Chain A
Amino acid sequence: MGDVILTMKDIDKSFPGVHALDHVNFEVKRGEVHALMGENGAGKSTLMKVLTGIYTKDSGTITYEGKETEFHNTREAQDAGVVIVHQELNMLGHLTVAQNIFIGREFKTGIRIDDKKMNDEAKKLFDRLHIDIDPTETMSNLTVGKQQMCEIAKAISHEAKVIIFDEPSAALTEAEIEELFKIIRDLRKQNLGIVYISHRMDEIKVITDRVTVMRDGTYVGTLITNECTKDDIINMMVGRVIYEDPKTESAVPENAPVVLKVEHLHAGKMVQDVSFELRKGEILGFSGLMGAGRTETARAIFGADPKESGDIYINGQKVTINNPQDAVKCGIGYLSEDRKRYGIVVQKTVAENSTMACLENYMSGLFINKKAEKKVAEEYVESLATKTPSVEQLVVNLSGGNQQKVVIAKWLINDCDILIFDEPTRGIDVGAKNEIYKLMSRLADEGKSIIMISSEMTEILRMSDRIVVMCEGRKTGEVKIEEATQEVIMNLATRDIN
């Protein structure tokens, strides 16, 4: 670890009605990986946006390479060597890899863009990172992991001195994360300062040297990773210890009735011959790497995507599910991994979202019975402890965890017995996560059956009664919770890859 390359001191930033950053301090040294942690809305991204010139700070100083600096836009920051690898992939799907990497600073001969030189340069970059990607490939044809690699290549190509990774692992498979870490370590060796923003505690321990924790726009403290425990960090983040013990035995009796049975389901490349059973009151974990076909399986069961073959039985009865309507009629509810896109209607109120799936029950004649609608929505706001000023609040104004609860309410109001939770805690902060876990346990206790798709091993081990593992579109194993360990699952999840 070398000298300090970047210091942010007393950074203050307000938006109308929100004090987003309250005198925050942060520094990065050459050759270190510095984690920046905090719950959602703690101000991590805002801080980085201030750094790279997307926002202008209200007060405070930024010292970069010994000089006080202020970047006015991303371009200036890039040119100086401060680069962000974004959380959402910022890919231009219609352009090639090389064109993406050099967007904004193409090589030119006259006014003509020199694509050949760009391809060569990109190739060199990939060689340096030991990645095998064809620079002339169209971006949208790459896997998410490969796209992330391109983003990193792009960052490095700026002669970066400080690279900021904003939740880089969120969309990556375990294998890809390994590869990413290899690259990060490589970069550290090259004496770059690296900022690593992540929610995943395991990764922080593995890859980072120091951890800075933020809470509610304030700076909480900086720790040396090796010298602290997970609980230390979590305590700093939330101010309370979180229960995180794995479940040891299934709460579901062996003879509990099978509510959902899927046989030989085929749907495209990602769902190949998947069969499993779900029992009453059970939480069935679906584990596997990103791109293993879990979401696709769920969507196929739910009728959201077309399936080619396979039978679905509900309570022993064979059913035909061709579209989500059929699924809803069968009492299946689906909470998507991407809430904003597939879960909520942001411009509608809590009440309107809650009754979305079963509006026909809240009609009086031709018209919507708004009173009844409001009443039932309020009921569920209360029972799920959704934090909202009223059920007439627009959902867009709620936090991620509360939005998730609104989606859950939607399915509970519809009286669904089978709930598919697809990454229920993605992008939700630690405190809210816990609430969602409790809620799921409670629902299972009440006799609902839950399929939980999760990429977080701890989540799987903590919640599931039984675990189905998938890999490359196939079911590779089924593990009882009593026998489940990280190693067993990982083994199944990667079986086909190696």
Chain B
Amino acid sequence: MKKKSSIFTSQKFIVLLVVIVLFTFFSIVSPNFRQYSTMMSILNYSYYIVLMSIGVTFPLITGGVDLSIGTGLICYSLAGGYLITQKGWPVAAGLLVTVLLGVAIGVFNGVLVAFMDLPPFLTTLCTCMITRGLGSVFSKGLGISWPAANEAGGWFRSIFRITTANNTMIPIGFVLMVIIVALMAFVLNHTRIGRYTIAIGSNKEATRLSGVNVKFYHTMAYVISGFFAGLAAVAYSAVFATVQPGTGAGFELEAIGGAIIGGVSAAGGVGSVEGSFIGVFVICLLKTGLPFIGLQANWQQIITGLVLIGAVMVDIIKKKRVEVH
């Protein structure tokens, strides 16, 4: 009976192993990959996906999904950037707006799903369209360049990395991520929000009948997802600076894919923040590593697709075996 939990830990463990194997493989094959700077850039590129993936873990565990985080991210970043660059708002206020917009869309999704009983997939598909449109509406269709690091408002870009005088980079972003993961793992496992998130994914009606304010906590899962999409927007802006309207579709799939590789069940009830965190790195490593072994960008997509299917298939086969014995 205790076996089950050991499968869980081993699932995360397997994914971690995969990350290590991939990393070793790329390092051996490509000398350029082993450089410190490459690793730093892998980390830098991963932050926004990591953040989205942490957030989307919650709706996924409730048995739902949030497809609006990708286009949402761009939308929030455009809105915040627009206010800073075009309206002269202080950077801190712009960042706040970015995150708050994420929360607002999260509330919107949550209310539709939890209070109005709309299917999550469809709801967030709609908000995906809506945020895609809204982003362009906010910025009047313009691409936005957030302030550069050396400009007055550029301080926020060193939230995720500090470059020292002798040009070495300190990835404080990664430290931040680890802290956030630890924090959210605590939220998921040891607070009411997390407990009820799992409970809703496990059996929503039973949770309701236990006197839990299911609608509120169900909404919260989407709010968390939206909040993290907002944070991801900050990370994206800090790393890439330039944001273009009409993009962002597809980010959510990387985040969700990472979460699923990391052991979140698409049926709900099962999943962990730290698993999602590790899972994202499988995707990020593929994305960054494959070009180093000489594959053109298009191959990455095929391989990422196959890896995703593979991860789920392994899980299915494993489950089948458990059922038989």
Residues of A at the B interface (CB closer than 8 Å) are 54, 73-75, 78, 84, 86, 90-95, 99, 103-106, 108, 111-113, 115, 137-138, 141, 268, 306
Q: Which of B195, B202, B324 contacts A113 (CB 8 A)?
A: B195
Contact (Cβ within 8 A) B211 A104: yes
Contact (Cβ within 8 A) B1 A141: yes
Contact residues in A for B201 (Cβ distance below 8 Å):
94
CA distance A427 to B1 in the complex (A): 32
Contact residues in A for B4 (Cβ distance below 8 Å):
138, 141
Given contact pairs A112-B190, A113-B192, A137-B1, A91 touches B206 in the complex (Cβ within 8 A) = yes
Number of residues of chain B lying within 8 A (CB) of chain A: 25
Contact (Cβ within 8 A) B210 A103: yes
Contact residues in B for A111 (Cβ distance below 8 Å):
191-192
Contact residues in A for B207 (Cβ distance below 8 Å):
92, 103-104
Given contact pairs A74-B210, A103-B210, A138-B4, A90 touches B195 in the complex (Cβ within 8 A) = no
Expressed in whole angstroms, the minimum distance between the Cβ of A451 and any Cβ of chain B is: 25
Contact residues in A for B270 (Cβ distance below 8 Å):
94
Contact residues in A for B231 (Cβ distance below 8 Å):
none
Contact (Cβ within 8 A) A106 B209: no
Query: Interface majority SS on B: helix, strand, loop or mixed?
Result: helix
**Nearest 7 CB-CB pairs, A to B?**
A75-B211, A90-B206, A92-B202, A94-B269, A104-B210, A94-B202, A104-B212
CB of B60 within 8 Å of the partner chain: no
Query: A-facing mask of B8-25, CB < 8 A → 1, else 0?
Result: 000000000000000000
Task: Give the residue name and chain of the B residue nearest to A269 (CB).
Answer: B325
CA distance A137 to B4 in the complex (A): 10
Considering residues A99, A103, A137, A268, which has the most beta carbons from chain B within 10 angstroms of its beta carbon?
Answer: A103
Contact (Cβ within 8 A) B198 A92: yes
Task: Give the residue name and chain of the B residue nearest to A77 (CB).
Answer: B211
Contact (Cβ within 8 A) B324 A103: no
Q: Which of B5, B191, B205 contacts A90 (CB 8 A)?
A: B205
Task: Give the residue name and chain of the A residue nearest to B205 (CB).
Answer: A90
Query: Can you list 8 pairs linking A and B with CB atoms under 8 Å apart?
Result: A94-B202, A95-B195, A95-B198, A103-B199, A103-B210, A105-B211, A111-B192, A112-B190
Contact residues in B for A108 (Cβ distance below 8 Å):
192
Given contact pairs A92-B206, A141-B4, A78 touches B199 in the complex (Cβ within 8 A) = no
Contact residues in B for A104 (Cβ distance below 8 Å):
207, 210-212
Given A90-B206, A92-B269, 19 other A-B residues pairs in contact with their CB atoms under 8 A = A84-B209, A86-B209, A90-B203, A92-B198, A92-B207, A95-B195, A103-B195, A103-B196, A103-B207, A104-B211, A111-B191, A111-B192, A112-B186, A112-B191, A113-B190, A113-B192, A138-B1, A138-B5, A306-B324
Expressed in whole angstroms, the minimum distance between the Cβ of B194 and any Cβ of chain A is: 8
Q: Which of A74, A95, A113, A115 contacts B209 (CB 8 A)?
A: A74
Contact residues in B for A93 (Cβ distance below 8 Å):
202-203, 269
Task: Give the residue name and chain of the B residue nearest to A138 (CB).
Answer: B4
